[in-house]
Structures are given as structure tokens and as C-alpha cells.
């Protein structure tokens, strides 16, 4: 026997779980994903989501409702008569009619160790906070924001230089295996549910563009965590004068370094920058419109001289 599943997801993060459920022999009744969005160089072409594209390659039916306010849309969901819905980074709040629209409810793959980092940006926030570990949790969804009982947990260590992009890629594979295991247990009525503790609740707010500028007046560890937590997207940045005009430069990699001084001061010719306490070495940078480059390659084309003082923080 296998489960009949409605899969709900949108970004690349969700794709390994969809593929793994198919490979495990479960029957996907339908794939729900966000509608195509404007994309391309001019923003004129409609781009299907990564999950949409993967579903079509797998020969699966795809639905792209804007929301579930329409009663007919809710009924179409229920008429699929699925055992369970699997939700991974879908991007829509699900009303009660959807949460209860399958026999066993909706199970969500969430990228944190709940109740820490409920919400939109758990991967970035964990790194920015300096957490040493995170994980994937399979949770039965309820009406709250990531408040449902937990069915399965897989912990993942966060390395000292790991970026959000690297952690994202690791967690999406861990999450795929975890969800397959959870669905296999559910199929055999062996999936336990444990209520989340009331203590330790932390919310992972969506990353705001206003918080992406690097503040060198903060301790070096905070600056380093800020850089890797926003790498590769949207990218932490500083402003420097290049060829006589100010230019925004993204920093996609860093490491802690020896040194100190006025926050924002360039201490060495290999981009060790003084912070409020300690220093960081910038290891990977990108000019606007350019490619990400290792620091040595970046400096061959863009001079940031030792002794220069970068703006210490937001102005």
C-alpha cells in the first residue's frame, strides 16, 4: 500500500521532497504551487516555480490557485480525496478547510528546531543569531504559525563558516528523507505526535532589505554571522568609493581575523576589516552587475586600499 498525497510547495527547497515521495512509491494526486510570476531579464515572461517545473517533468497534475478563499477551490482540494497533504515552503497560509481537507491532515517540513525560529526565514535567522545547530522538523499543521505538534526531528550542525545557501542545500536533502520516513510511518500508523514546548519560542521574521547593510561597529562575530546568514541572497553589503564614486559591494563570504581598530578601517591588503570588537576578513565579494569573486580576484580589478575606512554602519 502507499499513501495518496497532495503536495504543496514552491521553491527549489521543496523539489527534493516531491521527488523523494514519488520515488518512495506514494501516489501524488496533485501538486499545488504558487502561480507563475513575472521574470526574465525584463520581467515580461511568466516563470513557473521550481516545483511547477519538477511536477511537469514527473507528469503530475499542477494547481496554482492565488489563494483558497473561493469555496469551489476548497471543494476541488477535498474532492482529490487524498490521505494527506505534504507542505514544504508553499508560501500561502492554509485555512481550516484545507488543513482538514484530507483524511490525515497536513504535514509540514519546517527548517528549524521548533519552537525556535517559527516563521518565514528560519535558515537565515539561525545563522545570523550564531546558532550552532538547526534541523528539519515534520510537523502536523494547525491554524497557528508553525505551532503544530512535531512528528519527526533531524538535527543538523551549523559550521562556523557555513552560509545560508550551504545550509539551505543541506537541509532540503535532510528534509526530503525526513518527510519520506514520516509518511512511511504515517502509512503504518506509527507516527507519534509531540506538542511543542511553551518555552523557547523565537520568530524568524522575513529578511528586510533595510537590515542587509553591514554594521562594522558591531563585534566581529556578529558581522561574520550577518554576512554568512545573508549569503548568497539577498547579500550583506557595504559602500566604498570606487573610481571616485560610491558603489555598493556585496559580501558573500567572510571569516574571523586578528586585528582591531576604528570600526570599518581596512587593516590589511587582503581585506581584514576592523569591527567594534575584533576583525573580519572578507573572502568573497560582488560588485553590482558583476560576478561573485574570491577576494584576491576582486582586488585585482577593484582597489580598496589598506587604511581606507568604510562606513561603520547604516547612515
Binding residues for (6S)-5,6,7,8-tetrahydrofolate, by number, are 112-115
Q: Which three cell numbers stand for residue 161?
A: 563558516
Other Cβ atoms less than 10 A from the Cβ of 101: the count is 23
**Binding-site annotation: residue ranges:** 112-115
Hey, is 99 helix, strand or coil?
helix
Q: Which residues pair with 213 in a beta bridge?
A: 237
Instruction: Locate the DSSP E strands across the chain.
Output: 4-9, 27-32, 37-39, 45-47, 62-63, 84-88, 106-110, 116-119, 133-140, 150-157, 202-204, 236-242, 245-257, 272-274, 279-287, 293-294
- Residue written as grid cell 527547497: 13
| Order of all β-strands in the sheet with 84-88 | 62-63, 27-32, 4-9, 84-88, 106-110, 133-140, 150-157
Q: Which residues pair with 281 in a beta bridge?
A: 255, 272
Q: How far is CA 305 from CA 19, 220, 280, in A?
A: 49, 20, 16
Amino acid at each position: 500500500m502507499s499513501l495518496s498525497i497532495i503536495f504543496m510547495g514552491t521553491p527549489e527547497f521543496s523539489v527534493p521532497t516531491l521527488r523523494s515521495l514519488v520515488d518512495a512509491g506514494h501516489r501524488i494526486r496533485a501538486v499545488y504551487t504558487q502561480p507563475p510570476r513575472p521574470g526574465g531579464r525584463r520581467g515580461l515572461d511568466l516563470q513557473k516555480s521550481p516545483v511547477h517545473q519538477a511536477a511537469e517533468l514527473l507528469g503530475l497534475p499542477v494547481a496554482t490557485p492565488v489563494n483558497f478563499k473561493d469555496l469551489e477551490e476548497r471543494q476541488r482540494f477535498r474532492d482529490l480525496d487524498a490521505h494527506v497533504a505534504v507542505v514544504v515552503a508553499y508560501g500561502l497560509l492554509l485555512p481550516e478547510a484545507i488543513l482538514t481537507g484530507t483524511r490525515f491532515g497536513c504535514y509540514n517540513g519546517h527548517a528549524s528546531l521548533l519552537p525556535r525560529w517559527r516563521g518565514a526565514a528560519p535558515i537565515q535567522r539561525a545563522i545570523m543569531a550564531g546558532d550552532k545547530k538547526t534541523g528539519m522538523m515534520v510537523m502536523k499543521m494547525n491554524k497557528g504559525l508553525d505551532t503544530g505538534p512535531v512528528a519527526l526531528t533531524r538535527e543538523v550542525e551549523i559550521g562556523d563558516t557555513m552560509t545560508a545557501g550551504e545550509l539551505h542545500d543541506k537541509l532540503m536533502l535532510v528534509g526530503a528523507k525526513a518527510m519520506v520516513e514520516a509518511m512511511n510511518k504515517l502509512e503504518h500508523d506509527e507516527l507519534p505526535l509531540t506538542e511543542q514546548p511553551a518555552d523557547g519560542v523565537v520568530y524568524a521574521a522575513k529578511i528586510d532589505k533595510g537590515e542587509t547593510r553591514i554594521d562594522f561597529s558591531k563585534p566581529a562575530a556578529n558581522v561574520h554571522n550577518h554576512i554568512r546568514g545573508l549569503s548568497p541572497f539577498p547579500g550583506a553589503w557595504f559602500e566604498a568609493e570606487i573610481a571616485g564614486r560610491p558603489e555598493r559591494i556585496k559580501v558573500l563570504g567572510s571569516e574571523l581575523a586578528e586585528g582591531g581598530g576604528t570600526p570599518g578601517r581596512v587593516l590589511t591588503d587582503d581585506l581584514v576589516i576592523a569591527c567594534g570588537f575584533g576583525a573580519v576578513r572578507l573572502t568573497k565579494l560582488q560588485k553590482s552587475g558583476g560576478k561573485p569573486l574570491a577576494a584576491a580576484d576582486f582586488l585585482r580589478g577593484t582597489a580598496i586600499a589598506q587604511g581606507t575606512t568604510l562606513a561603520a554602519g547604516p547612515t
